[in-house]
Amino acid sequence: MVFDPYSFLEFAKEIHADKDYRKASAWRTIAGRAYYASFLSSRKKLQELGHSFVATPDVHKEVMAQVKTRNSGTANKLYMLRDSRNDADYNLMSQITSDQCSKLLKLAELVFQEVASFK
């Protein structure tokens, strides 16, 4: 069975809603899952539309470039999600908050909706 990228977003929402799990590691995990859910759904939709991508570190840039050709607003959301994920994963001094995660989850939902309409 093929993994559904939306599962990552659902997991991120579950972590965010869990009142017993309020710590930096949760916020950083949410940022990562929100981005990867959006990235994977974008790549999957583009593949369904006939694009192929090689599994290299540049695949993220390639997917974002293809998204931008279809909807620059969606691409901007994906860029913001990626920047937040990079900040959460690599900048140990950054402060990731619950409020920031709420915004990231909303952005990811919008990316899912917008990508679904690509033709």
For the segment 22-50, the average pLDDT, to the nearest whole number, is 96
Amino acid at 40: L
The pLDDT score that the predictor gives to residue 58 is 95
For the segment 44-69, the average pLDDT, to the nearest whole number, is 96
The pLDDT score that the predictor gives to residue 20 is 83
Distances (CA, A) of 28 to 66, 91, 116: 27, 10, 26
**What's the chain's Rg over C-alpha atoms?**
14
Smallest CA-to-CA distance from 31 within 5, 9, 58, 57 is with 9
For the segment 99-118, the average pLDDT, to the nearest whole number, is 97
- pTM of the predicted model as reported, rounded to 2 decimal places: 0.94
Residue found under tokens 């093929």: 2
The pLDDT score that the predictor gives to residue 38 is 98
Structural domains of the chain, ranges and CATH numbers in brackets: 6-116 (1.20.120.330)
> Which segments within the chain are labelled E, that is strand?
none
